[in-house]
A and B are shown apart, each in its own frame.
Chain A
Amino acid sequence: MFYYLLSITICALIISFIFDKNKTIKALKIAYKKFMNILPAFLVMLILVSIVLFLVPDKMIINYLGTKNKFFSVILASIFGSITLMPGFIAYPLCGILLKKGVSYMVLAAFTTTLMMVGVLSYPVEKEYFGAKVTIIRNLISFIISIIVAIAIGFFFGELI
């Protein structure tokens, strides 16, 4: 993934440089300035991530999502998904394990969808760009969408009844 992004960036830079040297230098300056301006917010986010991942380790998520009560599990899964932050290459293998352990598709849908759409930990970054109010509304809407997605998955996989 990293090399794919890196090669696209380098190609784009080279093409841009061939067409217009000054514009390319200006683009790099803009990139640097934008990155530096948001860096403190990213730092705060990383600090929160490191602490929350310590308090809510993978093992805990595995233990809690397997509970008998489906609806309780969906809510719990959405909360875990909202407050943690992990890249897909960690999250999906984890879900694969959970699936084998008998955790329902519905619960896993709630977990992965909130994981990808709701960002409590990325709040410091999102707030810088869009303001606190919009950030909170957007996350609430995303949370509701995730629950609906989970219910739909439960319905189509015959887990609702």
Chain B
Amino acid sequence: MNKQNNFIKSTFIVLYFIFIVASFVMNFQPGKQIGLNFTTFAIEMLKILPCAFILIGLFEVWVKKEKVEKHLGEGSGMMSYFWVILLAGTTVGGLYVAFPVAYTLFKKGAKLSVIFTYLGASGICRIPMTIFEASFMGIKFSIIRLLVSIPLVIFSSILLGNYLEKRNYKIRTKGEL
């Protein structure tokens, strides 16, 4: 199943690149546009991802599991949501950067509701993004958005976390990432 999936994935990737190269050779406009979109976003991500993964690596070797468990794990109180929202506020990029960070936090012993709060908050509470938003949409817009969304994110994360814990949810079973 997994092997077959990988095969489909690689075929898809190879076909895509053949299509892009062919589009440039034959001057096929839509294909060229798609190729340019790819490059723009690839550059954008390559600026962020290597740094993000190096920081994740440093986090892995320096931060002890007990520390994370104590502040973000089972038995940690409401403060854990505060810490994790603060962490999300400093996240750069977008959700795609938050996924590996959340996964690492989970492996270090953070509880599920904290992980989901982190993911939600890294969408809505990123500080640089919020400043940018306020300058275009007005400060009132940003404040209402934050005040409404943060409680909803925490509340839904606790519900989802509890639900999954009851069902004995295991994060990613097919090997480490």
State the majority secondary structure of interface residues on A: helix
Residues of A within 8 A of B132 (CB): 88-89, 92
Residues of B within 8 A of A112 (CB): 133, 137
Chain B, interface residues (CB within 8 Å), range: 35 or more
Interface residue from B30, B47, B172 paired with A129 (Cβ < 8 Å): B172
Nearest-neighbor residue (CB-CB) of A88 within chain B: B129
Chain A, interface residues (CB within 8 Å), range: 35 or more
Q: Is the CB of A38 within 8 A of B44?
A: no
Residues of B within 8 A of A8 (CB): 51, 55
Q: What 0/1 pattern do residues 4 to 20 of B give for CB contact below 8 A with A?
A: 00000110110010000
Residues of A within 8 A of B95 (CB): 116-117, 119, 122, 126
Asked whether A108 is an interface residue with its Cβ less than 8 Å from the other chain, the reply is yes
A131: min CB distance to chain B, Å: 6
Assess A27 versus B54: contact at CB under 8 Å? Given A40-B13, A92-B137, A134-B164. yes
Further pairs besides A42-B49, A125-B96, A142-B123: 5, Cβ < 8 Å: A47-B13, A47-B38, A87-B93, A119-B94, A122-B94
Listed in ascending order, the chain B residues whose CB lies under 8 Å from chain A are: 9-10, 12-13, 16, 30, 33-35, 37-38, 41-42, 44-45, 47-58, 60-62, 92-96, 99-100, 102-103, 116, 119-120, 123-124, 126, 128-129, 132-133, 135-137, 140-141, 144-145, 148-149, 152-153, 156, 160, 164, 169, 171-173, 177
Q: List 26 A-B contacts (CB under 8 A).
A: A5-B51, A16-B58, A26-B61, A30-B57, A32-B53, A32-B57, A34-B177, A40-B13, A50-B37, A50-B41, A51-B37, A87-B93, A92-B136, A92-B137, A93-B136, A109-B141, A112-B137, A117-B124, A119-B94, A129-B103, A130-B99, A142-B123, A145-B120, A149-B152, A153-B141, A157-B140
Listed in ascending order, the chain A residues whose CB lies under 8 Å from chain B are: 1-2, 4-6, 8-9, 12-13, 16, 23-24, 26-32, 34-35, 37-38, 40, 42-47, 49-51, 53-54, 85, 87-89, 92-93, 95-96, 99, 105, 108-109, 112-113, 116-117, 119, 122, 125-126, 128-131, 134, 137-138, 141-142, 145, 148-149, 152-153, 156-157
